[in-house]
């Protein structure tokens, strides 16, 4: 069974092709296109590349195309992306303006190109379906809640990968297996007994922290929208809701201007007044730029805030995991995030930390009660596995 997973941005298309034939789980090929202007032609090129490489003979060799979709009204889990679901995604365009529209457009184009191939989405919100209600509610009027104003949680596929992989690395295959079973549409419920507490830090262009108990998420730093929680590259992160009416009234900003500024001109970019890439911000900070240094400090402060929150909710932690672009590649940020946490049992091994980039490793000192780990994430594999499970149930 061959499953293509397509990662759609507004001007990018990345893909991975998996083969699940005869019990294996193999990445056949991967590729991507940046600065896409003609999406239909790019889909065509993607299919042509896979044929040229001999990975598929024709489009019909693909059992399905899987997508890491973000959110939809009254839809969660792993579902077929028909027009009804795409409409339900459209409803949340204002909450996920950078994410939902490119998926909706891209999926419609795939549907035109491959009308007989199932197009299946695994929603990023799916991993939080077992989180306690109290962790997912805002204190707003009930009508708002019924309209969808609640915490949803995102980066579900990535944190799900970390839930399984960290359990395996800790020798807890029982929890990894439970986590694998425990996902969407399969009626499983989380188990309380085998106590394994993991805090997963997905730190990248966008960042979120998740607490994981026995393979199931108990919450996520992102709430209603993927703009919330920790500051992101150019998106705001946590903000007191009263800031919005305040700036609209006193700075005469329109709602569209506010949305654009929170979405495109905030986060690391807003704080540093310079760049949305942490590498540039760090380099400028090291050169003495006070705003850039502050941007990094705010980021670190926010990551520590959420780690602290889940450390408390989980009554400690067995593992603290770093993943994604920043988490996997920036030892100096991991060091700053873990600084002076020895009383909580979190102690890095400076040498192991410094030498670990984009590979799986334990980077804590032997005496650290909490194992600190780096695990490169594999969101596409999680999507492909769920799409396979979805197809098998049809
Ligand atoms: P996302 O998928 O949310 O865009 P990624 O996981 O691809 O995030 O992370 C990309 C971000 O990671 C970049 O914005 C960059 O700031 C940061 N980063 C830091 N160091 C590196 C590195 N060595 N390689 C790639 N990205 C890095």
Residue at 148 is within a domain = no
Residue at 60 is within a domain = yes
- Residue whose CA is closest, atom 23 of ligand 1? 329
Q: Is the CB of 272 under 6 A from ligand 1?
A: no
Residues 354 and 255 in one domain: yes
Ligand 1 closest atom vs CA 280: 16
pLDDT above 90: residue 262: yes
**Count of domains in the chain?**
2
User: Mean per-residue pLDDT for 71-84?
Assistant: 95
Residues 168 and 234 in one domain: yes
Residues 181 and 322 in one domain: yes
- In angstroms, what is the span from residue 39 Cα to ligand 1's centroid? 24
Ligand 1 closest atom vs CA 277: 16
- Burial status of residue 60 (CB atoms within 10 A of its CB: 0-12, 13-18, 19 or more): exposed
pLDDT above 60: residue 186: no
> What is the tens place of the pLDDT at every residue in 279-318?
999 999 999 999 999 999 999 999 999 999 999 999 999 9
- In angstroms, what is the span from residue 116 Cα to ligand 1's centroid? 36
b/e code 94-116 from CB counts within 10 Å (16+ = b):
ebbbbbbebbbebbebbbeebee
Residues 267 and 206 in one domain: yes
CATH of the domain at 372: 3.30.420.40
> What is the tens place of the pLDDT at every residue in 10-53?
788 999 999 999 889 999 999 999 988 888 899 999 999 999 99
- Residue whose CA is closest, atom 13 of ligand 1? 205
User: Mean per-residue pLDDT for 227-238?
Assistant: 96
Residue at 386 is within a domain = no
- Expressed as residue numbers, the domain containing 197 is 156-379
* Domain end position, chosen among 122, 146, 176: 122
pTM of the model: 0.95
Cα end-to-end distance, the chain, whole Å = 14
Residue at 135 is within a domain = no
Residues 44 and 187 in one domain: no
Ligand 1, residues 201, 325, 379: which to mutate, most atoms within 8 A of Cβ? 325
Q: What is the mean pLDDT of the chain?
A: 94
């Amino acid at each position: 069974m061959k499953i293509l997973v397509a990662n759609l941005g507004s001007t990018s298309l990345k893909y991975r092709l998996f083969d699940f034939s005869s019990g294996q789980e193999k990445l056949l090929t991967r590729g991507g296109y940046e600065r896409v202007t003609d999406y239909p032609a790019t889909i065509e090129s993607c299919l042509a590349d896979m044929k040229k490489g001999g990975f598929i003979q024709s489009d019909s060799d693909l059992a399905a195309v899987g997508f890491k979709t973000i959110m939809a009204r009254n839809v969660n889990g792993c579902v077929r992306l028909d027009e009804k679901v795409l409409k339900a995604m459209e409803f949340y365009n204002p909450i996920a303006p950078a994410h939902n529209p490119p998926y909706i457009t891209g999926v419609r184009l795939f549907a035109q190109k491959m009308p007989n191939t199932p197009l299946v989405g695994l929603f990023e919100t799916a991993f939080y379906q077992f989180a306690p209600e109290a962790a997912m509610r805002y204190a707003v009027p009930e009508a708002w809640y019924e309209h969808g104003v609640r915490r949803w949680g995102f980066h579900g596929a990535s944190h799900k990968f970390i839930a399984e992989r960290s359990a395996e690395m800790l020798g807890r295959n029982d929890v990894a297996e439970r986590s694998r079973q425990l996902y969407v549409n399969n009626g499983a419920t989380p188990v309380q007994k085998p106590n394994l507490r993991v805090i997963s830090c997905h730190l990248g262009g966008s960042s979120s922290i998740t607490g994981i108990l026995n393979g199931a998420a108990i919450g996520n730093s992102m709430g209603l929208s993927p703009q919330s929680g920790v500051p992101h590259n150019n998106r705001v992160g946590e903000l007191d809701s009263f800031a919005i009416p305040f700036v609209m009234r006193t700075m005469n900003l329109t709602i569209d201007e506010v949305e654009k500024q929170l979405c495109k001109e905030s986060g690391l970019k807003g704080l540093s007044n310079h760049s949305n890439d942490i590498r540039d911000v760090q380099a400028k900070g090291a050169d003495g730029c006070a705003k850039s240094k502050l941007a990094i400090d705010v980021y670190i402060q926010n990551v520590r805030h959420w780690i602290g929150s889940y450390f408390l909710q989980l009554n400690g932690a067995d593992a603290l995991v770093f993943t994604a672009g920043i988490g996997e590649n920036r030892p100096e940020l991991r060091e700053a995030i873990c600084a002076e946490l020895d009383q909580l049992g979190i102690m890095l091994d400076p040498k192991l930390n410094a030498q670990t980039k984009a590979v799986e490793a334990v980077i804590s000192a032997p005496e650290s009660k909490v194992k600190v780990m780096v695990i490169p994430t594999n969101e596409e594999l999680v999507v492909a596995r769920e799409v396979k499970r979805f197809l098998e149930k049809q």
